[in-house]
Chains A and B, each alone.
Chain A
Amino acid sequence: MKHTLQQVFRSSKFVTGFCIFAAILMVVIFYPLFVPNPPLEIIAQGSFFPPGTYVSTYDTVFSSKAYTLNLTDAATKRIAAKLGDQERNDIKEYLMLVGVPEDQIDSTNTILLLDLWEKNYDPTKKISGMIFSKVRYFERLNKSLDGLLSEEGLILASPNIDTGTLEQVGIINLSDYVNIKEVASVRTLPLGTDNFGRDVLTQLVKATSVSLMIGLIAGLIATFIGLVLGLLSGYVGGMLDDIIMFITNLFTVIPSFVLLILISYSVGQEHRGAVMVAAVIGFTSWVWTTRAVRSQVISLRNRDHVNLSKLSGHSIGYIITHDILPYIASYVVMALILQISSAILAEASLSILGLGPKTSEVPTLGLMMNWAMIYQAQILGKWWAYFPVLLVIAMITFSMNLMNTGLDQVFNPALRD
């Protein structure tokens, strides 16, 4: 036993797969301890906020301490943030459309360019051939360029309730800074928010743990049924074998995914919790474990050690558990790993079709994909809503298959490279 474990952990494939899987597992276990936010809490108004650190504007203005930093590149950066290459080209394009000769426009000279823009931009002017969205774009661009070159600070004012007038409460200068650590409310969303305005990373971690649980339950159910039926049909043989193989063949010819869809549909949205979905997946995917276990048992049942055990007067139950099961245990573990990874994929496929666990209770990897798809994240280019999910699914199945291959090479020396 110890020797086998040593061998298993010397297989580079198994170790790689195990490390990836353990890393995923660690994140799933420890992340909620450090970030205890509820995974399905809607925090954002609006959908698909990009990844990044969100700093409260209000808290920044009313930060307890303001610092004055005279940075030479501050103005350049401020201008560059609003007037990038794309904007400069758009301005040039507009100016040319309204009839400014090309040689007069220097898109690299900010002052001249803005000067020309101020002189020539007229929101009321109709330019033939310009689509409405472009018109609106130039309106927004014009607004954002307002006061770009201003050297003055902003005046803060708050309404006086008694008089109903605005009163100045402070001035924000261009050289005023706050330390981000002193801002009361800062929230980093490493993977932004999803369509409902929920933190994708927190949701993803929870979804991974739910999906792993679904995979484990489904894998255990499938492996257990497969193992019991395979052992009985392989060892007992005869009539029982015929009956079990008849049922197994029935399940083999009906594609299990179709069966899965039909059962999930007939169970109904209301009753489809994560455990229910796991059970449905488990009860439809035991077929090949049964066949594999049966063939292994058939090759074992005529071995001399089984005969010897019979001659020692052991019962069928004892022989199956002591003389057959230990010999196929490694095989069953490998089958379990494959069943878990295929159950995770099955859950994802079901959920994408909208037949996964009922929404609004727990996220699963498949549900996250489903939401991203319904709200067209892939068309809108909101990669953070679906790509991390894909990556996690791929990593889980990859690590499990790698572990399986590693185990296979240890237990089946003919496959060693």
Chain B
Amino acid sequence: MTEKKSCLKGVGLTKVFGLGRNKNMAVDHVDFDFAEGEIVSIVGESGSGKTTLAKMLLGLINTTEGDIYFQGKKRDIRSHKAKKEYWTNIQAIFQDPFSSYNIFNKIDTLFLDCINMRGGKKLPYEKKVEMMTEACSFVNLKFAELTNKYPFELSGGQMQRLMIARIFLLQPKILLADEPTSMIDACSRATILDMLMKLRNDTGMTIIFITHDIGLAYFVSDKVFIMERGKFVESGTADEVILRPKEAYTKRLLNDVPKIHEEWDLSTVDIKVN
């Protein structure tokens, strides 16, 4: 296998909340190197620091320590202009579609913002409509039905698909999907995952998939990182990590996946609340 080009690299990434006795290491010296066009899963339970890591990667919160390299170069997000530049390359889908949209903006505004961000501000309106229609049809929605509507008039699954349409318009190099399927039903979940895979195959996008569902991670990803209390405890290809887990934590996560055909073994479940 040829070595792929590095897309996003983190060295010693750390985020500390609070001071003194209240100090809380949300992310603890994490190293990683995501290659271009990969689907990487970061799996862990609630509170393991997945979302904090995602926000650091997005540049929404500052890092306490460590560096992030984008395409081999150290990322610079000190000025608003630099941030804007960075965000043309990295975008996100959030967990809760119901709170991801500004309820005062119409769907058109949302899409037009994306076109503007990609430098399409001066395009004729017909061209913009064409782009929006294309993006909507990518996620099996009809732009003609959505125009002049508000996002909250749609269902949860449709809203999340709208999010993917937004990503399709923006064409970033990296997509950070923060539990994009945890708030929607199982049928819509498969559709969303299919669309994410299609997006990767069509555009060669790197997708960082954050989830607590290890089964889902196995289904979609090339590489899996298991995160426990701010640290990566195990990483490797999906087959390695999930079929031949080494760490106890990974085994526990695997055991927590409900199975239909066998009795659920609860003996390994750690009931201790920490």
Contact = CB atoms under 8 A, between A and B. Distances in A.
Interface stretch (B86-94, B132-140, B189-197): B86-94
A310 B60 contact: yes
Interface in A125-147: none
Nearest to B81: A313
A99 B22 CA distance: 97
Interface stretch (B6-14, B100-108, B122-130, B204-212): B100-108
A323 B100 CA distance: 11
Contacts of B114: 312
Interface string B159-189: 0000000000000000000000000000000
A315 interface: yes
Nearest to B172: A311
B105 A304 contact: no
Main secondary structure of the interface of A (DSSP, over half): helix
A322 interface: yes
A307 B104 contact: no
B87 A322 contact: no
B4 interface: no
B87 A323 contact: no
Nearest to A309: B102
A308 B94 contact: yes
A77 interface: no
Interface in A302-357: 303-305, 307-316, 322-323, 326-327
A327 B55 CA distance: 23
A311 B101 contact: no
Contacts of A304: 94-96, 99-100
A311 B91 contact: yes
Contact of A312 (B80, B96, B99, B113): B113
* Range of interface residues on B (Cβ < 8 Å): 20 to 34
Nearest to A310: B60
Contacts of B92: 307-308, 311
Nearest to A315: B80
Contacts of B58: 307, 311
A313 B104 contact: no
Nearest to B96: A304
Contact of A305 (B55, B84, B99): B99
B101 A308 contact: yes
Contacts, number: 48
Contacts of A323: 102
B117 interface: yes
Given A307-B60, A322-B104, A313 B87 contact: yes
Given A304-B96, A304-B100, A323-B102, A312 B60 contact: no
A117 B225 CA distance: 116
A310 B58 CA distance: 10
Contacts of A303: 99
A321 to B, nearest CB: 11
A313 B114 CA distance: 9
Interface in B41-86: 55, 58, 60, 80, 83-84
Interface string A286-313: 0000000000000000011101111111
A308 B162 CA distance: 13
Contacts of A311: 58, 60, 87, 91-92
Nearest to A318: B113
A305 B102 CA distance: 5
B164 to A, nearest CB: 13
A316 B113 CA distance: 15
A311 B96 CA distance: 16
Nearest to B98: A304
Contacts of B60: 307, 310-311
Given A307-B60, A307-B94, A312-B113, A322 B105 contact: yes
Contacts of A327: 104
Contacts of B95: 304
Contact of B104 (A312, A316, A326): A326
Contacts of A310: 60, 87
Contacts of A315: 80
B169 to A, nearest CB: 11
Interface string A252-280: 00000000000000000000000000000
A235 to B, nearest CB: 14
Given A313-B87, A313-B117, A322-B105, A308 B100 contact: yes
20 contacts: A304-B95, A304-B96, A304-B99, A304-B100, A305-B103, A307-B55, A307-B58, A308-B94, A308-B101, A308-B102, A310-B60, A310-B87, A311-B58, A311-B87, A312-B117, A313-B84, A313-B117, A314-B113, A322-B105, A326-B102
Interface of A: 303-305, 307-316, 322-323, 326-327
